[in-house]
Each structure stands twice: as structure tokens, then as C-alpha cells.
Amino acid sequence: MAKVLVVDDAAFMRMMLKNILGKNGHQIVGEAQNGAEGVKKYQELKPDVVTMDIIMPEVNGIEAVRQIMAMDPEAKIVMVSALGQEAMVKEALEAGARDFIVKPFKESKVLEVIEKLC
Amino acid sequence: MESYKDVFVSESMEHLNSLTQGLLELEKGNEEVLTEIFRAAHTLKGMSATMGYEGMAKITHEMENLLDAVRNGEVEITSEVIDVLFEAVDLLEAALNSLSEGDDENISAEEVSQKLSKFAQTRKEERTTPAEVKGEVKKLEKGVKRIDIELDKDCTLKSVRAYMAFRELRELGEIVKCIPDEEKLEDGNFDRSFSIFLKTSASDEEIRKRLKKVSELSKIEIHSGEASSAKEDKTKSGGDVKSVQTVRVSIERLDSLMNLVGELVISKSRLFQIKNKYAIDELNETLAYIDKLTTSLQEEVQEMRMVEVRYVFDRFPRMVRDLAKKEGKKVDFVIEGKDIELDRTVLDEIGDPLVHLLRNCIDHGIETPEERVKSGKSETGKVLLKARRVKDHVEIIVADDGRGIDPEKIKRIAVEKGLISEKEAEKMSYDEAKMLIFTPGFSSAEKVTDISGRGVGLDVVRNKILSLGGTVELESEVGKGTRFVLKLPLTLAITKALLISAGGKIYAIPLNNVNEILNVKEEDISTVMGQEVIQLRGKILPVYDLLSLLGKATATNGKRARPVVIVEKGGNLIGLAVDELIGQQEIVIKSLDGKLRDVRGFAGSTIMGDGRVSLILDIASLGVGEWQSR
């Protein structure tokens, strides 16, 4: 049972993740629409896991990872990427993200990744 | 509860089989199997030493030494070396058989062990450089592990996963090489698998633990030290790393399950009959569902019992090789269709019949090299064992290109043995004469060889096949060769049949015999040379009144409109005229016993839905006159 912070600029994507995770016994403790908001909410809520979209306005996902990792080196961040974003996912991993999931989501994969981190 | 011994015996048998196949390949000159042979011997050594079977352990230890020396190129592969390895295999098999019967090993390992070590010691003085292993991969040095990784089928960002795997492994040591190369991996330019060579002192467990952190890895295989060519391992040991869970079930359990399902099928048929009789429409839906359920249940049970024929076929190459050698004949033995599946009981039962047939081929069928050359054939005879799936049954073919069956010779011998009279012999058709070899008491061997015994094999073979609900057909041409075709039902007890009525009685014809069904009008039937025939798509087929064939007098006029069932018999199509077609039904075959078994024309009996018994026809043994369809 993980406490998850969902960061994505698309409400639809946030809703999908919320559904998948909620259905499987995880708790969505907060949402954010961009990287800056994501970092802020992380400080406030101290979630177990963060799902982080890559391309977002204001502060993008990779930068957000850096900032969160600087605050909390134990942070568990999962990147949410689309096809073709290999280089960016690698960059995020290098910045400290733990794993990634690809859109469109496969429920089993999302769960595999989230549950592995808890 | 199975004891360790049982598991040891069955697993050892598998490894031994692997060894045998490998040795046969090695004999043909294929050296790629060396690693596998070595591995099999090595595993057997470990297992038998653990169980305390010293004889087996000693033999396998010496085998391993010898094979290692061969692998390294220190000892040459000669036919003597192979023979002694086969000797060792035979002794190990004897030990396993003894153990499986509840006895001790009961073998004397001294002689063979000495022979093996003598060969191993013929290694040259200096160690030559290790034999080069074919394939892209070098032999692993000490301290380097090869980690084979396979990604999930639906993994999309492959290069990232590969990157993550690399990242984890770098924490444990130094990556010396990877396949495919780094560039391809970075571009995601690979299918799903890749291999990383890691110089590390970490244990396999630590490596796995690390890699567990990376999602979407479906398979992880770690090889260290003695493993060699990546290619071989991938193709051959692929079967080891199955994540499929299996359960061992006793055969009695499966049989009892099979029986229960059979009874269920019968009861279901009865229910249908009752529903129809009283026209209870309300039952339609439920019965339809029950029908679906029983069919599924039947299919599941059948699946459980299905085993690949390779388990029986694998015995044969060795046997054929030894037999041919003994008889001084040159035989090229080809097996096809090893992965066709059969019900396990059927499979068990056809082992011996196939041995008989193969022995017959080599003993009586294939001629000596000199004879063959004299008749313009190649020195080496060909023997084919083929399994294939045809509609809903399995065909197993045993064929040779030898001297074929000479009907005149057969007739002569049968008359000499008093099996038939001279008069009967004269009247006999070619087809009927051929079938004489299946008569009990027939033996065409001039002398009794210890190879095929007294030639009593064939009638026993036929009865065995019939009792399984199958048929045996024989095609042969003098000088060209002989071909036995065994048709076996997929499942032992339950099969689909066509029900027909003739003379007021109901008979069942197994559907796999039925080619076509026609409704024949009076004008379609003509008479040619006293035989009633019909035309079917340009061909002329003989039509026989079923009742007459069964030896029953028919009170009706032969020439009238009736249904005709076209069946295949001895390679030709013939028509059987019956009174009525009743329908298709699943039937449970109960075998005939006692006197009824020898009556020509019947393969068994079945209980109908209404409790009546009807007889199942055996097309192959129905006596018909000679006819060649034109």
C-alpha cells in the first residue's frame, strides 16, 4: 500500500494513474501539474513514490527529479514516458529516478514497478 | 509420494537419453554436441554420487574424463571411443532399470571404467590449445560470468532497460564484453535478448538480486566457468529455464479421470435422448451448457494425457543402428514428426509394435548391400519412421525401400502352413494376400533368427493396434519396398463415430475412417464385371452392401437408393451401402473380448445413449474382393 504523488500536466493521465493505483490498494495522496508544483507537494506530503511525467511546462520532469533528489536522496521517483523518449528517460535515471513506465499504461507493468519500490 | 529414487531414475533416464542422442550425432561427425554430452555425463555423475550409487558414479566419472579430453582435442574421436561410450551407456541403462525395479544397481563397473580411462589416457603429451568452439563467443575465462538477459515481450524502451541492467551490473564488477555490441544496445537495435560478460567475484545470487531491481526482465541466465558457446546453450538448454510449474500425477489417476469423463459422456448422451423423447424444451439451454462443459472437460483430460512421440521414438535410432550392424546391412534411419503428441497409454502400447515393425524392416525388408547393388539400388537402405496428425487421429508410418512383400510367396507359405487351402489361395486378391502376414502362426522367415523371433510379431502387432481403437494398413510393392500405416486415435477411449443402421442393427464407423457420405439413387449404381459401382468425381468406386460384407444375408434388392459411406481401405476408396444414416456421435470404445475379438470386421463395441450395445466396424479387416479403382 503505497502513498503516491502523481505529477503530470495532463489531467487525463493523472486520472488514469489514479484509477489503476487506487483500484489496487494504493493511495493517491496528491497531484501536481508541473515540475515546480511537484517539488513543492513532495516537500509537503512526503509520499512513498512519485510518478513523474517528463515533458511539462514550467519545470520539466528531469529537472524536478534533480531538485527532489537534492532534498531527499532516498526519494523514489518513477518516470512516466512516451515512446521515443529513451534519451530523456536515461537522463532522468542518471539524475536519480528509480524506474520508468511507458504510456499507454499496462496495468500490470504499472503495478510491477510501483510495488517493487515499496 | 515419490521417493528420491523415483525422481533420480526418471531424471537420469532423460539425461541418458540425451547422451545417447548426442553420441549418435557425434558418430555422424557432428562435434557441436560435445558440450551437451559432457554436461549430461557430468550431471549424471553428480546425481549418482549424491544417491550413493557407486557403480554409476564411477562409470560417469570416467566418461566425463574421457569426454573432457575429447572436448579439448586431446583425444581423437574414433569409432572405438564411441563404441566404448555406448557400452558405458548400456551399463548405466541396465543399472537404472534394475533400480527402477526396486533392486540395487546390479552392475559391475570395473571393466567399462577401465576401458574408458584407458582411452582418456591416450591423450597427447603436451596440452594442445583448447579446441575452438564455434559461435560468436569465446570460452569464458575464470572470474568472468556471462549473463543472458531476455526482456519482456511487450517491453517498449528496450535500450533503457538494457542501460539499467548495465548500470546495476557495473556495481558488481567490470563489463568486459556484451552481445550485441554497445552501439546496437544503445540504439535499441536488438530483438529482446542480450548477453553481458561481467568480470566479477560476486555470486550468482547477488547478481540476480541486483537485476531484480530492473523491471521488464523476463529471463536471467547466469553462466560461469565451464559454459561455452552461447549459441548451443540458447538452443539446447532453453528448456531448462522454464517458469512453468508442473505437477507429477500418477497414471492411475489419469486413467480414473479418463473413465469418469467417459461415463459422463455416455450419461450426457442419455440425457439428450430423454430430452428429445419427451420434448422437454426447458432443458435445452442447460443441456447445451452441459454438452459444452463435458467437451471441455474431455479436451482437458485428453491434453493431460498427451505426450510427444519422441519419448518412444528416441529409443529407436540406437536399436536400428545396432540391428543393422548385426545384420550386416546399411541403413539410413529417418524419423519425422517427433513432436506429434499421442495419448500416453496409446504411446506406451505402440512401443513394442513399432519395435517389431522396425525389426521386420531391417531383417526382412532391407536387403544386404550386395543384393541392393545388384538390383540397381543404392547400397544403403532407407527406413522411415514418421508420425503425423491427420484430422483427428495420428498416423504412424514405418516404411522401407527394401524388397517388398511378394504376395505369391506369402500365399505359398500360408498354404504350406495350412493356414489356407490351395483353392482359397487362388481366389485371393493381391490385397488379401498381403494381409495374410497378419495371421497368427505365419512366419516368413526361412530360419528363426533371434532378431525377429519367430515372426509372430505381426499378428500381435495388429491386435495391439486394434485394441487401441486404431487400424493397420499395409502397402507394398515387390522390389520397391513396404509401408505400414498405423492409424491411431488421439484418445484411447472416446472417439467420434458415424452411426448407421443396417439390417435392423446399429453399427458405428470411426469418423477417421470416413471419407464422405453420399445419398445414392438407383440410377447412379451400375454394374461392372458383376460388381456394383458408382462414379465419384470421375473415379469409379466399388460399392458393397455392408450386411453382405458382414456375412449376413440381406433380404433386400441390392440395387436401390441408399446412403453410401465412402471409406478408405488399403489405399483405395470404397463405398459401403447401408440402410440409414443415424448421425454422428461421440462413443466410448469398449474392447471386445474372447471369441468376438477374432471376428473379422469389428474393432470393438460401444454403449449407445439408450443403453444398447452397438458394434464398431474395423474397415481394414472387412473382407472385400479385389478391385482397383480406375
> What secondary structure does DSSP assign to B188-251, as a single string?
T-SSSEEEEEEEE---HHHHHHHHHTSTTEEEEEEEETT---HHHHHHHGGGTT---------H
Pick the CATH number of B308-489 from 3.40.50.300, 3.30.565.10, 2.40.30.10, 3.40.50.12780: 3.30.565.10
In whole angstroms, give the CA distance from residue B435 to residue B431. Answer: 7
Percent of the residues in chain B that have a pLDDT greater than 70, as a whole number:
82
Closest-CA distance, A92 to chain B, in angstroms, reads: 11
Across the interface, of A85, A93, A112, the residue whose CB is closest to B164 is A93
Query: Given an 8 Å threshold on Cβ–Cβ distance, is B167 in contact with A83?
Result: no
Q: Which of A81, A83, A99 sits opposite B215 (nearest CB)?
A: A99
Nearest-angstrom CA–CA distance, B368 and B374: 10
> Catalytic positions of B, please?
42, 64, 360
Cell of A59: 519545470
Residues from chain A that touch B183, judged by Cβ atoms under 8 A, are none
Q: What ipTM was predicted for this assembly?
A: 0.89
Contact A86 B157 (CB under 8 A): yes
CA distance B274 to B610: 9
Q: Give Cα separations from B480 to B324, B364, B405, B614 (angstroms).
A: 19, 13, 9, 41
Q: B160–A83: do the CB atoms touch at under 8 Å?
A: no
pTM to 2 decimals?
0.43
Domain that holds residue A45: 15-84+92-106
Classify the C-alpha dihedral B280-B285-B286-B289 as positive or negative.
Answer: positive
If pLDDT is split at 50, 70 and 90, which confidence band does B128 have?
very low
Domain annotation covers residue A96: yes
pLDDT over 70 at B214, yes or no:
yes
Does any CB of chain B come closer than 8 Å to the CB of residue A44?
no
Residue B71 main-chain phi, psi, to 5 deg: -55, -40
* pLDDT, greater one: B456 or B500: B500
Q: Determine the CATH number of domain B494-621.
A: 2.40.50.180
Min Cα–Cα distance to chain B from A28, Å? 22
CB B589 within 8 A of CB B604: yes
Q: B167 and A109 in contact by Cβ < 8 A?
A: no
The CATH architecture annotation of domain B252-304 reads Orthogonal Bundle (1.10)
pLDDT score, position B227: 39
B460 is written with which cell numbers? 500381435
A90 touching B (Cβ < 8 Å): yes
Q: What is the pLDDT of residues B503-523, one digit of tens each?
A: 888 888 888 778 888 888 888
Which of A58-62, B260-264, B532-536 shows the lowest per-residue confidence on average (mean pLDDT)? B260-264
The answer, for A33 touching chain B at a CB cutoff of 8 Å, is no
Check residue B483 and give its pLDDT.
92
| Pairwise CB contact (< 8 Å): B160 & A93 | yes
Kindly state whether B157 is in contact with chain A, defined as any CB-CB distance less than 8 angstroms. yes
**DSSP annotation of B254:** H
For residue B190, list chain A residues with Cβ-Cβ distance below 8 A. none
Among all residues of chain A, which has the CA nearest to that of B213?
A116
The runs of H, that is alpha helices, within B72-202 are: 79-100, 110-120, 158-170, 182-187
pLDDT at B125 exceeding the cut of 60: no
From chain A, pick out residues whose CB is under 8 angstroms from the CB of B151.
none
pLDDT digits (tens, 9 = 90+) for B550-578: 777 665 555 567 888 998 776 678 889 88
Looking at every residue in chain B, the average pLDDT score rounds to 79
Indicate the class that CATH gives domain B144-230.
alpha beta
Residue B183 contacts A, CB cutoff 8 Å: no
| Residue A115 near chain B (CB below 8 Å) | no
Strand partners, B605: B590, B615
Is A31's pLDDT higher than 90?
yes
* Partner-chain residue, chosen from A83, A90, A116, that has the shortest CB–CB distance to B156: A83
A65-90 pLDDT, tens per residue? 999 999 999 999 999 988 778 888 99
Residue A98 inside a domain? The answer is yes
Residue B343's H or E segment, with its range, is strand B341-343
B47-86, pLDDT tens digit by residue? Answer: 888 788 888 988 998 898 888 888 877 788 888 888 899 9
Chain B contact present for A106, CB below 8 A:
yes
Using DSSP, state whether A116 is helix, strand or coil: helix
Residue A42 domain-assigned (yes or no)? yes
B168 has pLDDT over 50:
yes
Residue, of B454 and B388, whose pLDDT is higher: B388
Q: Pick the residue from chain B with its C-alpha nearest to A104.
A: B156
Whether B259 has a pLDDT exceeding 90, the answer reads no
Q: Min CA distance, B299 vs chain A (Å)?
A: 30
- Residue B331, C-alpha cell as written in the block: 541403413
How high does pLDDT run on average in chain A?
90
Percentage with pLDDT > 70 across chain A: 100
**Sequence-ordered list of residues with C-beta below 8 angstroms from that of B617, at least 6 positions apart, any chain:** B507, B508, B509, B510, B513, B601, B602, B603
Q: What is the pLDDT of residue B595?
A: 54
Q: Which residue has the higher pLDDT, B465 or B386?
A: B386
> What would the pLDDT profile of B15-46 be if each residue is shown by its tens digit?
899 899 899 888 888 888 888 888 888 888 88
Tell me the pLDDT tens digit for each residue of B294-341: 878 877 877 787 888 888 898 888 889 888 888 889 899 999 988 888
**B503 part of contact set with chain A, CB < 8 Å:** no
Domain positions in chain B are 4-120, 144-230, 252-304, 308-489, 494-621
Q: How confident is the model over B368-384, as a mean pLDDT?
A: 90
Whether residue A100 lies within 8 A of chain B, CB to CB, comes out as yes
Q: What CATH number is associated with residue A27?
A: 3.40.50.2300
In angstroms, rounded to a whole number, what is the distance separating the alpha carbons of residues B115 and B119?
6
Name residue, grid cell 509372430.
Answer: B456
Neighbours of B598 (CB within 10 A): 10
What's the whole-number mean pLDDT along residues A21-45? 92
In chain A, the number of structural domains is: 1
CATH, domain range B4-120: 1.20.120.160
Facing A86 at nearest CB: one of B160, B213, B216 = B160
Asked if pLDDT for residue B269 goes beyond 90, the answer is no
- Three-state SS across B117-128? HHHHCCCCCCCC
pLDDT of residue B77: 84
Q: How far apart are CA B516 and CA B387, in angstroms?
A: 24
pLDDT of res. B553:
65
* B533 strand-pairing partners: B526, B542
Sheet of strand B193-200: strand arrangement: B173-179, B193-200, B144-151, B217-224
Q: Under a CB-based contact definition with an 8 Å cutoff, are residues B85 and B66 in contact?
A: yes
CA distance A101 to A117: 13
B157 and A102 in contact by Cβ < 8 A? yes
Instruction: Determine contact: B327 vs chain A, CB below 8 A.
Output: no
Residues of chain A with Cβ-Cβ distance to B216 below 8 Å are 109, 112
Q: Count of CB atoms within 10 A of residue B389's CB?
A: 13
Contact list in A for residue B213 (CB cut-off 8 A) is 116
pLDDT band at B137 (very low <50, low <70, confident <90, very high): very low
Domain membership flag for residue A74: yes
The CA distances from residue B589 to A72, B125, B497, B622, in Å, are 74, 68, 10, 19
> Residue A93: its chain B contacts at CB < 8 A?
160, 163-164, 167
| CA B551 vs CA B235, B317, B323, B508, B601: distances in Å | 58, 44, 44, 17, 10
Answer whether residue A53 is part of any domain.
Answer: yes
Please name the member of B159, B163, B215 whose beta carbon is closest to the beta carbon of A116: B215
Is residue A38 one of the residues assigned to a domain? Answer: yes
In a domain, A59, yes or no: yes
What pLDDT was estimated at residue B138? 47
B215 with A106: Cβ contact below 8 A: no
Q: Do B157 and A83 touch (CB under 8 A)?
A: yes
Higher pLDDT, B248 or B555: B248
Q: Is B556 helix (H, G, I), strand (E, B) or coil?
A: coil
Lowest-confidence segment of B126-140, B399-413, B513-527, B529-543 by average pLDDT: B126-140
CA distance linking residue B626 with residue B429, whole number of Å: 5
Nearest-by-CA chain B residue for A103: B156
Task: Please give the average per-residue pLDDT across A15-27, as a whole number.
Answer: 90
Question: Contacts of residue A86 in chain B, CB cutoff 8 Å?
Answer: 157, 159-160, 188
> Which of B159, B212, B213 has the CB atom closest to A86's CB atom?
B159
Grid coordinates representing B626 are 479385389
Max Cα separation, chain B?
93
A89 touches chain B (CB under 8 A): yes
- How many beta-carbon contacts under 8 Å exist across A and B? 34
* CA B492 – CA B507 distance, rounded (Å): 19
pLDDT at B226 over 50: no
Q: How far is B616 from chain A (nearest CA, A)?
A: 53
Residue A86 to residue B216, Cβ atoms within 8 A:
no
Residues of A in contact with B156 (CB under 8 A): 83, 102
